Amino acid sequence: MRLGLAEAAGRSILIAQREREVVSLAGTLLPNDPLAILLDPSLRRTAEAAVAKADAIDPATLRFLPPMATIGKIICVGLNYADHAAESPYDKPKFPVFFLRTEEGVIGHGASIVRPQVSEQLVEKTKGLENTQQESIDQLQVVQDQLQTVRRLLAAQQAETKKLSEQVSGLAEAVDGLRQSFASAQASEPSGSPSVRKTKFRAPRTAHRKPAKSRG
């Protein structure tokens, strides 16, 4: 389903393409905002039903407007595919080239393209543009190299941290092993202090014999 906006009889209306016809959705309750309809499943179903039975309108009586009711900033990517880069006068960029488009740069189908007064031709090749783009690419390359260096340093730091963690874990296991060995040794000893039996020292007994009396 293709939706759009057009000006008819001095007012903006919602239009749609049905096969090869352009139909008007002005008499429906749909909002005058194609993007809002496409983002809402319920509105999409309502729009599909309305397009199926809407009356065709002569495109020659319309002035096509930009296809969205509200346009914010538009971020574009230049030379974003190989064929486009090959047909352009620029070298294939190493990094995507982004540029900005505003609401004033969007026009409706068949509208005239207004050339800015500062331009000498409609498609102007600004002097030094190629050099500026190359400088931007070179700066991006420097940033990428710096990021790669930081990534390598972080990887080395993480490896060193992991190594230290493994060493600490090994020491902790060794300490636990010593504790268990010490606890086992204590458990194997008899409880209490060994008793000491006290005995009194007795001197050996000696026999004293009286001298025999001589008989006269």
Q: How many residues are listed for the chain in this entry?
A: 216
Cα 57 from Cα 113, distance rounded (Å): 25
Residue 104 has pLDDT above 70, yes or no: yes
Residue (of 76, 79, 126, 63) closest to 105 by Cα position: 76
The pair phi, psi for residue 56, each rounded to 5°, is -75, 155
> pLDDT (tens digit, 9 = 90+) per residue, 50-77?
999 999 999 999 999 998 888 878 888 8
Question: Is 196 within the bounds of a domain?
Answer: no
Q: Is 31 helix (H, G, I), strand (E, B) or coil?
A: coil
Q: Are residues 46 and 80 in the same domain?
A: no
- Full-prediction pTM beyond 0.75? no
Per-residue confidence (pLDDT) for residue 98, from 0 to 100 = 84
Give the tokens for residue 86. 């090959």
Cα 56 from Cα 20, distance rounded (Å): 10
Which residue in this structure is represented by tokens 């230290």? 164
Confidence class for position 131, pLDDT limits 50, 70, 90: low
Question: DSSP character for 105?
Answer: G
Question: Is 20 within the bounds of a domain?
Answer: yes
When mean pLDDT is compared over 51-55, 75-79, 121-125, 141-145, the highest value belongs to 51-55
| Structural domain for 146, as ranges | 126-178
Total number of domains in the chain: 3
Question: Is 46 within the bounds of a domain?
Answer: yes
> pLDDT (tens digit, 9 = 90+) per residue, 153-185?
888 888 888 888 888 888 888 888 888 887 777
Per-residue confidence (pLDDT) for residue 199, from 0 to 100 = 53
Question: Is 216 within the bounds of a domain?
Answer: no
> pLDDT (tens digit, 9 = 90+) per residue, 201-213?
555 555 555 555 5
Question: Is 184 within the bounds of a domain?
Answer: no
Contact between 129 and 90 under an 8 Å Cβ cutoff? The reply is: no
